[in-house]
Amino acid sequence: MELAQLRYFVAVVEEGGFTRAGARLHVSQPGVSAQVRRLERELGQRLLDRSGRRVTPTETGEAVLSYARAALAAVEGIRRTAEEFSGLLRGRVALGLVPGAAGAVVDGFDAVEVLGNFHDEHPRVEIALSEDTSERMLAALLRGELDLAVVGLGAAPPPGVSCQVVLDEPLVAAVRADDPLVAQSVSGGIPLAALRERALISLPRGTGLRGVLERACAEAGFAPRVEFEAAAPAVLVRLAARGLGVAVVPSGAEDGAESGAGSRTGGGLCALRITEPALNGRVALAWRTGGPAGPAARGLLGRLRAEAPGRPAP
């Protein structure tokens, strides 16, 4: 049994086909197929079901998959450990970000600046950035596909994931100044129930903020009517400014808002605190409990944790 065979088998399962696996591994499709068939012959079991449009693991293949991943991870760990003892920090760090996180500056913390400084000090480390929903990134962390992630937290992190909260802001309803909600507000706030029949503008499902909103509405006995979605709070606010609905965003996303009751933004919006219950949106730096396997990822995690504001998530 060869490591290449295990690597090809895992890639086919994750990509759902031989062609996509070959493209990922920079190997021809026939080469991938031949290696996987050799593995199946050696084990005496069929590992993949090739009958559908998408290749899927058989029952045996599903059982073998976790061992194949563990073997590949062990080999990678050996390589990284050897590099660590050689005194050279090198390797690859996969970092996931919620959309807009890279450009945000929170309490003086600038993620781009931290990444740039880290790369200047360790030019042999490749930092691979990707954007996705928090739900998918947390799952990717647990699978080992990401080393670190900046995610929105709708609830406590899943078992196996540790977090440091870097932003914890109340959620507000951003509406046009002539919206009836402004007249209904008391001391700049409205109860969550006031949004029951309203068209809402929110981040997509799988984001922490959307999870907070949906869970609170369910506990209040209704489902939110989300009619517009966008990946960045700034876009949600612009949609609200056009009168397309009520944007549920973290406080401060309504650019130019002043503090106080019924805060008005420079664009003619009002930011109304959501009360009864009060809702908060949290953004956190997340990693697998116990820390990343590689020295490069551990080094970057240490740098981010040292420079980021916040506290551990519950």
How many domains does the structure of the chain reveal? 3
Residue-wise pLDDT tens digits, 98-113? 876 655 555 556 778 8
**Between residues 298 and 266, which one has the greater pLDDT?**
298
**pLDDT band per the 50, 70, 90 thresholds, residue 264:** very low
The predicted pLDDT at position 182 comes to 92
Token representation of residue 111: 């993620």
Same domain, yes or no, for 159 and 174? no
Region 253-264 average pLDDT = 46
The predicted pLDDT at position 201 comes to 95
Q: Are 274 and 251 in contact (CB under 8 A)?
A: no
**Between residues 91 and 193, which one has the greater pLDDT?**
193
Same domain, yes or no, for 64 and 101? no
pLDDT at residue 84 is higher than 90: no
Same domain, yes or no, for 271 and 184? yes
The count of other CB atoms within 10 Å of the CB of residue 227 is 14
Residue-wise pLDDT tens digits, 164-197? 988 888 999 999 999 999 999 888 899 999 999 9
b/e sequence 252-282, b meaning 16+ C-beta within 10 Å: ebbeebeeeebbbbebebbbbbbbeeebbbb
Provide long-range contacts, Cβ within 8 A and 24+ apart, for 192-197.
192/216, 192/217, 192/220, 192/274, 192/275, 192/276, 192/277, 192/279, 193/220, 193/222, 193/276, 195/224, 195/246, 195/248, 195/274, 196/220, 196/222, 197/225
Same domain, yes or no, for 156 and 299? yes
Residue-wise pLDDT tens digits, 203-229? 988 888 898 999 999 999 999 999 999
Q: CATH number, domain at 218?
A: 3.40.190.10
Same domain, yes or no, for 125 and 21? no
Sign of CA dihedral 73, 79, 85, 89: negative
Same domain, yes or no, for 57 and 153? no
Same domain, yes or no, for 195 and 250? yes
Same domain, yes or no, for 189 and 268? yes
Region 231-253 average pLDDT = 89
Same domain, yes or no, for 38 and 105? no
- Which of 86-95, 127-136, 263-272 shows the highest mean pLDDT? 127-136
Domain region containing 126: 91-166+283-312
The predicted pLDDT at position 258 comes to 36
The predicted pLDDT at position 102 comes to 57
Residue-wise pLDDT tens digits, 14-37? 989 898 888 888 888 888 899 899
Same domain, yes or no, for 291 and 157? yes
Q: Which of 20, 51, 85 is the last residue of a domain?
A: 85
Q: Are 3 and 74 in contact (CB under 8 A)?
A: no
**Between residues 12 and 103, which one has the greater pLDDT?**
12
The predicted pLDDT at position 180 comes to 93
Same domain, yes or no, for 198 and 114? no
Region 255-276 average pLDDT = 62
Kindly report which listed range (9-13, 111-115, 146-150, 263-267) carries the lowest average pLDDT score: 263-267
pTM more than 0.85:
no
pLDDT at residue 202 is higher than 90: yes
Q: CATH number, domain at 32?
A: 1.10.10.10
pLDDT at residue 85 is higher than 80: no
**pLDDT band per the 50, 70, 90 thresholds, residue 2:** confident
The predicted pLDDT at position 101 comes to 64
SS3 of residue 284 by DSSP? strand
Same domain, yes or no, for 177 and 215? yes
